[in-house]
Amino acid sequence: MKSYLLVIIIGYLFGCLQWSYIFSKTFLNVDIRTLGAGNAGASNTVISLGWKWGVLVAILDILKAIISILVIRYLFKISHLSESVFLLYLNGLFVILGHDFPFFMGFRGGKGAASLLGMLIGVDYRFGLLGFLIILLITVFTDYIALGTIAMNLFLLLATIYFNLGLGPIIISALLVIIAIYLHIPNIKRIRDKEEKGLRGTLKKKIKNI
């Protein structure tokens, strides 16, 4: 039980490193959640502050999940997926929960796409490569990063089932899918109503303004 609690605390605290919020408040004196899509994620940073800030935030959000999982690997001497993989999934889950629901921001954070990618890389770099390809291809094909994010969550669930990594990781993966869909309900509704801003159009507009 103490091991699980340690894994949870480390993951949640790493997840609470809200780089989009930190940068927007520090350098622009504005809360990123008052801009664009109204959340503290990398995609909203691209929409609201430009692609340079968005890329920086995405990289740091990916890294915080990777580093958190590497800390767990070190503490519990985990080198292969067959060794306590549940602890890696548990830590990744709470990194994403910390990112999505940070305590110091009234539990209103981002939507976890970059942190999920970092979790995939931390668990197995091959998962990370495939996850990156999936979110990239779905986003480019549909023009909506929300759909790419949901697809990447589904990939984690299917990969966890396919490689038979255990009931615990399957439950965590399914929970992550549910969280992703729930957080993206507003995006899905805007896509349905053709009101969602497409990523290509946003990037073109930001680049022209440089």
115 CB neighbour count, 10 Å cutoff: 32
Digit-by-digit pLDDT tens for the chain (210 residues) are 889 999 999 999 999 999 999 999 998 899 999 998 888 988 888 888 888 898 999 999 999 999 999 999 999 999 877 778 999 999 999 999 999 999 999 999 999 999 999 999 999 999 999 999 999 999 999 999 899 999 999 999 999 999 999 999 999 999 999 999 999 999 999 999 988 877 666 655 554 555
What is the C-alpha separation between 18 and 29, in angstroms, rounded?
15
pTM of the predicted structure, to 2 decimals = 0.92
Tell me which residue of 136, 124, 139, 132 sits closest to 184, measured CA to CA.
139
What is the C-alpha separation between 202 and 83, in angstroms, rounded?
43
List, for residues 95-138, the tens digit of each pLDDT value: 999 999 999 999 999 999 999 999 999 999 999 999 999 999 99
CA angle 81, 77, 163 (to 5 degrees): 5
